[in-house]
Amino acid sequence: MITSQESNLQALVATNIDNLRALANSAPEGRLNRPLLAALGKELLPHLFPSSVGGVHDNAVSSTELCILREELGRLMPAAETTLALQGLGAYPILFEGSDQVVQEWLPKVANGTAAAAFALTETEAGSDAAAITMSATRDGDGWRLSGKKVFISNAPDADIYTIFARTDPDAGSRGVTAFAVPGGLEGMSGQAYDMVAPHVIGELILDNVFVPNSHVLGEVNRGFRVAMGTLDLFRPSVGAYAVGMAQAALDATVSYTDHRRAFGGRLRDLQAVEHKIADMALGIEAARLLVRSAAACYDTGEDGLTKKSAMAKLFATETAQRVVDDAVQLHGAIALRKGHVLEELYREVRAPRIYEGTSEVQRSIISRAVYAQLQDLVT
């Protein structure tokens, strides 16, 4: 059953979608689309933030609301969905752990779309293994000097404010990482955009002895890994929601196409092979949606088991979306691979969510460890 909250958010997206689509090509491929970001800031981005920084909530956004927004934008315009989600991912470590000074300086601009945020965790040897971060942060008077390279960072090198994770204790693994709020364009910062299969704003960020004051430390020194995981706990289920939205778009297109496409003396939909494929697609999408909403509700209510449920939701939803989009292309045939077709776009877009914010393999490991931990609890 669709709740009033879901209906209202879907209507909000629907009223804005034509304007957002008109701005889709307002920036070169692979670079930050500031007109699109500004348009999102008028009505949609405030739904990610509390009123204290220009949003609409008393406190932080609920995971359920985040999932509803990401699913609907994923269904209608993946490029807008990604732009919106990255604002939250880059800004929430600041909201959760930043000083009042940094929060008030940056988050109102992030919430209204006049500043772009980024979450800079990944390095060449520290992607899924985030504890292997090597970017260094050394003390210098009343601040820190950051040096190193981040790769595959969304909104890099164009972001205005970065949440950057750097090593402050070389011998402490995940317990020696600190999170910093770092404005873009500081002396010693450089970077370049990557040319990706799907034209997202993704690139590398190089810091060469960049000074960051103590006031820009997020949370406690050497406790940055906790900052990262706290943010990912909120956003990981909504990656699954984004995948569900793309899968739903693929199913909608396929149902429409097979309903009128004629072959073998009748409509494609009348072939049992097609009927069964449509049924499997719809079944997978609904199951993925339920897993995503269950994980979101777990986060919102503070129930136990969030880590396992979030991993399950992201894993199942992203893997399901990949299969659904591939099946949709197969049922359409070659027409779906023409540049500009909705499925051609989805075919490129759907691949990345199985990698970022924890690969499918990492999610399986998380789930397995949680299952064994439950067994141990029963034994003891």
How far is it, in rounded angstroms, from Cα 299 to Cα 358? 18
Q: Where are the domains of the chain?
A: 4-116, 118-222, 226-375
CATH number for 118-222 (one of 2.40.110.10, 1.10.10.10, 3.30.230.70, 3.40.1170.60): it is 2.40.110.10
Q: Which residue has the higher pLDDT, 375 or 378?
A: 375
If one looks up domain 4-116 in CATH, what number appears?
1.10.540.10
Residue 242 has which token pair?
A: 């984004």
Looking at residue 107, what is its pLDDT? 98
Domain 226-375: CATH superfamily, name plus number: Butyryl-CoA Dehydrogenase, subunit A, domain 3 (1.20.140.10)
pLDDT in tens, 52-79: 999 999 988 999 999 999 999 999 999 9
Q: Which residue has the higher pLDDT, 208 or 132?
A: 208
Active-site annotation, residues: 357
Looking at residue 380, what is its pLDDT? 65
Looking at residue 314, what is its pLDDT? 97
Indicate whether 174 pLDDT > 90: no
Looking at residue 1, what is its pLDDT? 58
Q: Give the containing element (helix H, strand E) for 330.
A: helix 306-332
Looking at residue 322, what is its pLDDT? 98
Pairing of strands 177-183, 161-167: antiparallel
pTM equals 0.94
Q: Say how many Å lie between the first and final Cα of the chain, rounded.
A: 40
Phi, psi of 153 (to 5 degrees): -100, 120
How far is it, in rounded angstroms, from Cα 224 to Cα 136? 13
- What contacts 229, CB < 8 A, 6 or more positions away? none
Residue 21 has which token pair?
A: 């689509």
Indicate whether 130 pLDDT > 80: no
Mean pLDDT of the chain: 94
> Do 235 and 171 contact (CB within 8 A), yes or no?
no
Looking at residue 359, what is its pLDDT? 92
